[in-house]
Amino acid sequence: MANSPKNPKSGKSSASETSGQVLTNRQGHPIANNQSQRTVGSRGPATLENYQFLEKITHFDRERIPERVVHARGFVCYGEFEATGKIGDEPASKYTRAKLFQEAGKKTPLAIRFSTVIGGRDSSEVARDPRGFAVKFYTEDGNWDLVGNNLAVFFIRDAIKFPDVIHSLKPDPVTFRQEPNRIFDFMSQTPESMHMLTHLFSPRGIPASYRHMEGFGVNTYKMVNAQGDTVLVKYHFHPRCGLASLTAEEAAKVQGQDLGSASKDLYEAIERGEYPQWDMYVQIMEDHDHPELDWDPLDDTKIWPERDFPLRHVGVMTLNRNVQDHFNENEQIAMGTGVLVDGLDFSDDKMLVGRTFSYSDTQRYRVGTNYLQLPVNQAKNAKVATNLNGGQMSYGRDLAPGQNPHVNYEPSIHGGLHESSREEPNNPPEIRGRLTRSVIERRNDYSHARGRYCTMMEWERDDLVLNMGTLLGQCERDVQERMVWHLFMVHDDYGSRVGDMLGITADDVRHLPPLPKQVLTDDEKGRMEKLGRNGDPIDPTVWGQWTSSVKNYKASAEEVLGGMRNVPTEPATRQAAE
């Protein structure tokens, strides 16, 4: 002890030494000098056996993993989901045997990652962009990942187009700038994108904070009950603090002072005990093709109108704890749409099927083969026993109590793992059809965008027109004309107002035929013949209370930079749009 470091003022051992806060390397060796390399003399040269320097610098060289291609910038926090035990007014067991929904008051811990989609890891959090809304539920039957967005629909309906839509939204591979001409070149040839564009280029494309936005599963899933009966389901999260969004002008003011305003807002709200909450709802539909509808319930460019498929309350999500380490808990958290628990299932949604492969494939590439051994990704409340072993950065083997460690295969009669005796029924409808490559039959690409346009608040509609007209003004004429044609197909007012900003009228685009392979409904053919003269009203009651059609508070930059305190918003579900 004679040589132990002393506090120069007290003559006692330093607090860090006695409390165990001694700097070491990964081998556990205490580091006595972290200021200088080992050199020949004070001026060098440095020697090759500088173990501590080499360990430190080579780790530093590798301390970033590849950023996510999409959702690169995000923020993670923790919380819990408390179930009502019901789905609407009925017992949850009527629709699903998933344990987390069964009992009133049952709490399931969770992690959630909010994110922007297109920008890089250090991009602005007030850019116009969909926001990721991905929840990892640590259930007793293993993890359930619900990987959604703040907007209820998507740009495309088939996963084979996902690389294309993302490439169009990402920076130009030559100029490395996000170019409106590239974005609308793609979208103008993709008519199903009009619904999503109507959401995204309205104020909903720039939430004031992560706390003041909705969340949606976007894709159609299934629930399965104890008898094996299935229903189609859509998931919704509605914020109790209400919705608030920014115009592009106000967002620019925020971005000029803070690129991470949304992360800061969420972190500080939780730290001061102002825990954000969302009411979780589902919409239920019988599990069949629904030929009575003029759109396909598996089409993720469509919503299910609440007037026909009402929201049913299932519980409340509360966020109450921040991460301790951004890299380990944010950069390395890994979610995927294939991560379902018993009582939940996939539908045949073409985007969902493609996402289910892509997400897990991405995690293995980006984080590593053993990404599920990391604490933030582990199934915390369920036992894990697999015959998987090896691979880069393996931490250990998933052995069951009493398992013979020599047996990493199945079947075996020598103490290896065996199949679960719990084989629950699942009786989905039988599907028959010819193997083909084709789009769904009921496309109806414009009616839901029309519904969204009509159910917006007036300031949202004004902002949508301004944003679309401004960005299309930077595009080439052929792209402008086709986009205006689409907007007239959506709604007279939409097309004429954006067209006025571009100097394009309905007569200027009336000669355009439908896109190659585009199939119009009889109603759409009639609209095309009377392009710009369809007499469209702006009447929200025609559409009922459609998804996202609730009041949206027009936030200022000052309110966002001030932490969104004392903002006069109310729970979203109490506010129907006017």
359 is in an annotated binding site: yes
What whole-number distance in Å separates Cα of residue 1 and Cα of residue 30? 16
- State how beta strands 107-116 and 131-139 pair: antiparallel
Q: Is 181 a catalytic residue?
A: no
Q: Is-catalytic flag, 71?
A: yes
Residue with tokens 């939409």: 494
| Residue 58, φ and ψ in degrees, nearest 5 | -70, -30
Residue 124 near residue 520, CB atoms below 8 Å: no
* Long-range Cβ contacts of 169-173 (<8 Å, 24+ apart): 169/117, 169/118, 170/118
Strands 107-116 and 215-216 come out as unpaired
- Is residue 266 within 8 A of residue 210, CB to CB? The reply is yes
If 0-12 CB within 10 Å is exposed, 13-18 middle and 19+ buried, where does residue 329 land?
buried
The amino acid present at 265, given as its one-letter code, is D
Of 7, 25, 33, 149, which is the active-site residue? Answer: 149
Residue with tokens 């088939």: 158
DSSP assigned state of 128: S
Nearest to 316 by CA among 85, 514, 126: 85
Helices of type H across 125-256: 162-169, 180-188, 194-200, 248-255
Active-site choice (3, 29, 71, 290): 71
Coil vs helix vs strand at 46 = strand
**Structure-token pair, residue 192:** 């199903």
- Look at the block and give the residue holding tokens 């103008």: 188
Spatial contact of 51 and 58, defined as CB atoms under 8 Å apart: no
185 close to 172: Cβ distance less than 8 angstroms: no
Q: Which residue(s) pair with 281 in the sheet?
A: 236, 313
The binding site for heme consists of: 359
Active-site residue numbers?
71, 149
The binding site consists of: 359
